[in-house]
A and B are shown apart, each in its own frame.
Chain A
């Protein structure tokens, strides 16, 4: 497997704030690589460095063997970068936008129709509409068409699904998976933990550090403890009561349940149930559950602290 993106010891600071703390990462050719982390974790800085728009303070990045600083001119022809914020011309129509970007890359929509067909055909009925008048999901499809129109080897998608409705998000990931057929390396960031499962591999990033890089399944499998979902009638006090429990490893709200781990390997539901009953909870429901990426993320964050 060829390495498409090689990041070595990248550091980026803005004044006193360290956005990226000596990050190193390798992304293989043709994979969908997810960069998962909350807002402010350094995702966008990393993307802008990859996209040749931002210079790192130290460290090197090479994409397809080309250095982002020295060979940026050659690289820009092979990259498709979609910023987190919609940055097409809102006062131009769908068709004018895509034609503009095609011509900037020295090609035409007709010549590249095969690669964008899957996406562009969905918004083509609205080609005379101004981009600013499109819905969030359609805007993303247009933006993706515009960055695909020159058949890039690497796609950099910075939070492409933020602000997009769940159905469109699902569709969007379907499109990305079909793009793998073109052997395009896709680097995608998202603050939504559930989307991590759609990636081939993910990096969990927090405060400018990469905490873990692996396939989503491995990350989930490596969850260090048995995880229980706890639910009782009293939603207000359950979290604090669980945290007060002598053997609690972690307790976090997760939907309408509390995800709970116990520090002991031997653990019985009854013991916890007795404790909760003592605290005045009724309708107690404790069941073992499988960890999600989010649980792993929280666990990793907790360990760091």
Chain B
């Protein structure tokens, strides 16, 4: 026990003495949180749109002004030639072209169905898809308004859907992103720092001097990893506080439940770092291997792409992704107020994962070559 305490003290001293380390641990993650939470949003605004108005009537002008007033679109130009509009799309000068046909107003007043043509640049599939969705709702809203004005309520658009977004009423993407980004931050800090730490001792040769002492493997590993658990939990708490103050992220569930889960989760993260550092000889190798896994884990975590949208085999792979579980737990506890009962399987899986990884890493770590 005394030996573990000594190692822990030594690690803390070294971390706080390393001038490059402090900003890496404390400042960079916070900057990332602030930038990513604001930048990584799925809401699409300012879609560039060109309207080709072949009708040029009061009704078509009213539809155009609806588009203009929408925050999602940036109306660039109103043309009266279809070819010019499509040329703009070709050249990438606009994202979408909406065509209002001739006799638009006339047909509407005569209750003849009208068709609008929307062409979208689908290189950015998300933008094209969401953009056409927005157009659809604007146009159907416009249609409904016309119907109500003319007093005919039955003919078209009899069915209307009313939306109610649970747990995130305003569909605020920050509410959705911030818990996930916090998970990424402590994952990166935990796995990179712990991974680099032991490799660094190999590189500068200090591990040699340590290995000839009677120190036991578990003492060494606990002493090494404990400081990173402390730092990870500290960062998470700090991040959660920032989320509350700056982003007003709701926090319905128990803070301590999150911390308890984070403690279990840190075992996995540190296990990964430790395993990497036992199989590598230089910090460079450790860095590359960590990156390789992190990129896969992050992109397949469900933070950026919903897991349900992935092909089945990919969904199965995500079952091995620890980040996925923690993000789920964060969202469930923070936004839904889930209690231990709802996340007990997450605890079980991540706990088992952590124990397995740490045992593997401890077994792999050799004092003798």
Q: Residues of A at under 8 Å CB distance from B?
A: 51-55, 72-73, 76-77, 79, 81-83, 85-92, 96, 99-101, 103-106, 146
B3 in contact with A77 (CB, 8 Å): no
Partner of A96, one of B13, B207, B215: B13
Given A85-B205, A90-B204, A91-B14: A53 in contact with B6 (beta carbons within 8 A)? no
**Given B2, B206, B208, B213, which contacts A76 in the complex, CB threshold below 8 Å?**
B213
Chain A residue contacts of B213, Cβ below 8 A: 76, 101, 104-105
Assuming the contacts A54-B368, A100-B10, A103-B2, asked whether A91 and B212 have C-beta atoms less than 8 A apart, the reply is: no
What distance in Å separates the Cβ of A61 from its nearest Cβ neighbour in chain B?
13
Contact yes or no, A100 B369, CB < 8 A: no
| In the complex, chain B residues 1-43 whose Cβ is within 8 Å of any chain A Cβ | 2-3, 6, 10, 13-14, 17-18
Q: Check B214 against A55 for contact (C-beta < 8 Å).
A: no
Q: Name the residue in B3, B13, B212 with the highest tally of chain A Cβ atoms < 10 Å from its Cβ.
A: B212
- B215: which A residues are within 8 A, CB to CB? 104
Whether the Cβ atoms of A79 and B368 lie closer than 8 Å is no
Q: Which residues of A contact B205 (CB under 8 A)?
A: 83, 85-87
B241-272 vs A, CB cutoff 8 Å, 1 = contact: the mask equals 00000000000000000000000000000000
Which of chain A's residues has its CB closest to B207's CB?
A: A87
Is B368 a contact partner of A53 (Cβ separation < 8 A)? yes
Q: Does B210 contact A (CB under 8 A)?
A: yes
| CA–CA, A212 and B210, complex, Å | 33
A105–B204 Cα gap in the complex (Å)?
22
In the bound complex, do residue A76 and residue B3 qualify as a contact, i.e. CB atoms below 8 Å apart?
A: no
Do the beta carbons of B214 and A73 come within 8 Å of each other? Answer: yes
Assembled-state Cα–Cα distance A87/B211 (Å):
11
Cross-chain contact B6 with A52 (CB below 8 angstroms): no
Residues in B whose Cβ lies below 8 Å from that of A73 = 214
Q: Is the CB of A79 within 8 A of B212?
A: yes
Chain A residues near B14: list those with CB within 8 A. 89, 91-92
Min CB–CB distance B10 → chain A (angstroms): 6
> A81-B212, A89-B14 known; A72 and B368 CB under 8 Å?
yes
- Interface size (B, Cβ < 8 Å)? 23
Provide the residues of chain A in CB contact with B152, threshold 8 Å.
Answer: none
Minimal Cβ-Cβ distance residue in A for B18? A91
- Which residue of chain B is the closest to A72 with respect to CB atoms? B368
Give the docked Cα–Cα distance between A216 and B211 (Å): 33
Which A residues are CB-close (under 8 A) to B367? 53
CB contacts (< 8 Å) of B17 on chain A: these are 91
CB distance from A259 to the nearest CB of B (A): 38
A79 to B210, CA, bound (A): 12
Whether the pair A55, B369 counts as a contact (CB closer than 8 A) is yes
Chosen A-B contacts, 15 in total, with CB atoms closer than 8 Å, are: A51-B212, A52-B212, A53-B211, A73-B214, A85-B205, A87-B205, A87-B208, A89-B14, A89-B206, A100-B10, A104-B3, A105-B214, A106-B2, A106-B214, A146-B209
Query: Which residues in A have their C-beta under 8 angstroms from that of B212?
Result: 51-53, 76, 79, 81
Closest 8 CB pairs of A and B: A87-B205, A104-B213, A87-B209, A103-B6, A81-B212, A76-B214, A85-B205, A87-B206
Distance, CA A101 to CA B208, complexed state (A): 13
A77 touches B214 (CB 8 A): yes
> Once bound together, how far apart are the Cα atoms of A51 and B368, in whole Å?
10
Contacts of A99 in B (CB 8 A): 6
| Assembly CA distance A100 to B7 (angstroms) | 8
* Closest residue of B by beta carbon distance from A156: B212
In the assembled complex, the CB of B193 is this many whole angstroms from the nearest CB of chain A, namely 15
B10 near A92 with CB under 8 A, answer yes
Interchain CB contact under 8 A, B10 and A96? yes
Enumerate chain B residues within 8 angstroms of A55, measured Cβ to Cβ. Answer: 368-369
